Structure 1
Amino acid sequence: MRKPQSVKALEELGRVRLSPSFFMRDFLHSEIASFHGIPNIPDDPDLAIAAGRQLCEQLLEPLRARFGRISIRSAFRSIEVNGFGNAHKLNCGRNETNFAGHIWDRRDAAGRMGATASIIVHAAIPYYEATGQWEAIAWWVHDHLPYDSMEFFPRYAAFNIQWREEPRRDIYSFIPPRRGWLTKGDRADGLGDHSAHYAEWLTSLVRREG
């Protein structure tokens, strides 16, 4: 598929189904793009679609199937949108560090394909607001899904979740007072079963559903 050069072509890109629950259009919204009038359109739609399908099939669909509604806060960024966001201190990293991350249509320096979405798992909000335990959802994902990295943020325990070829399996938090690494791919604390960290949360979900 060529880069869309018309509204009709962009509509067709948006109609591409990435997985049973998600379409490409779900991932193209950007406040930076909307406010500053910068088109958020992939230069290489085929690569963006391929990476987005893996993100949806491997990570987002299993999360939705287990926990229900997911809100997508930020996902695909064109190099123009991400570059503008970085230059103007709008919470975007440098383009090179976002290849195969928020910039789905570029491979990273190692040649790996990847895609990131910033999401909120609605079922995690009540437990997080009551306990402050963002680690529950982090360890559940770690134990069950083939993610590359996660980054957690204070509001609603929103987090960036990344799929990438040859995943690293790193988890970082910006939530005080436990800012920093929860685990990294080469650390022993990432091995084994972590169900003790999310058992109480899962029990609370059963109570709410009951």
Structure 2
Amino acid sequence: MTRKLSYSALEKLGRVRLSPNYFFRDFLYSEISNYHGIPNIPHHPDVAVEAATKFCEQLLEPLTAAFGKISIRSAYRSPEVNQFGNENGLNCASNQANYGAHIFDYPHPETGLGATCTLVVNSWVEEFEKTKNWPAMAWFIHDHLPYSHMWFYPQLGAFNLTWSETPQRIIKSYVTPKGTLTKPGMDNHDTDHSTEYDTPYFRAAGERLKAYLAVRS
């Protein structure tokens, strides 16, 4: 496929099944695109599909198995959509910073192919809004899945989750405690975090994830 997709090619792209529960169309919704009339269409669809497939296989499907329905708040952004968002203060980093992240079809020069999605774990929203204990989810994912970055937000317990072919293993947050929770080299990076999410909710999620991974292997 080329950058200037026909309508039928775009429709076909949306039907690409990335994993059992997700299609590429799930990743294309954008308020910036819709409101400002900027097409959110990949320049390089095959690269975008490859990154999205890896994201689904390694992160999104395991999370779905563990926690149930996952809502995608923001995922793929075309360079045009992302640049407009960056230039107009709409919570978008620069295009260069979003290569291998929200801009799936342009690998990052240092970390390579990657994809970022802003997610809400539906079953966790009520607990998060009561406790604001975002580190519990962060440490659970850190201990169980091959993520590259996580960044937590105040509303709905939403967080950015990034898959990368060169994982960085960094967690940050805009929710108190704000800043960097962990990154390689910090004392807490490779220690036992299980007490941080030792609740019935996360224990049950861990059992479901364990069963999913056992079948997949």
How far does the alpha carbon of each residue in 1:49-89 deviate from its partner, in whole angstroms, 9 at most, with x for none? 00000100000000000100100000000000000000000
Q: Secondary structure at the match of 2:163?
A: strand
Q: Which amino acid aligns with 2:153?
A: F
For 1:163-208, what per-residue CA distance to the aligned partner results, in whole angstroms no more than 9, with x for missing partners? 00110100000013x11001012322110321111112526868xx
Q: Does 1:139 align with 2:114?
A: no
State the superposition RMSD in angstroms: 1.5
Partner of 1:200: 199
The equivalent residue for 2:189 is 190
Corresponding position: 1:87 with 2:87? yes
* Structure 1 residues 96 and 199, CA gap change in structure 2 (3 angstroms): same
Work out the number of aligned pairs and report it.
205
Q: Is the 8 A contact 1:173 1:179 kept in 2?
A: yes
- Structure 2: tracts of 5 or more residues without a match: 206-217
SS at match of 2:138: helix
Contact 1:13 1:24 in 2 (8 A): yes
- How far apart in 1 are the matches of 2:111 and 2:139? 28
The Cα of 1:128 is off from its aligned counterpart by 1.1
| Letter aligned with residue 141 of structure 1 | I
In the aligned structure 1, how far is the partner of 2:202 from the partner of 2:89? 40
Aligned residue in 2 for 1:96? 96
- What residue number does 2:40 align with? 40
Are 2:29 and 1:5 equivalent residues in the alignment? no
Q: TM-score, normalised by structure 1?
A: 0.93
2:98 is the alignment partner of 1:108: no
Find the counterpart in structure 1 of residue 71 from structure 2.
71
SS in 1 for 2:199: helix
What is the TM-score with the length of structure 2 in the denominator?
A: 0.90
Tell me the equivalent position of 2:174.
Answer: 174
State whether residues 111 and 165 of structure 2, in contact with CA within 8 Å, keep that contact through their aligned partners in structure 1.
Answer: no
Further displaced range: 186-195 or 73-82? 186-195
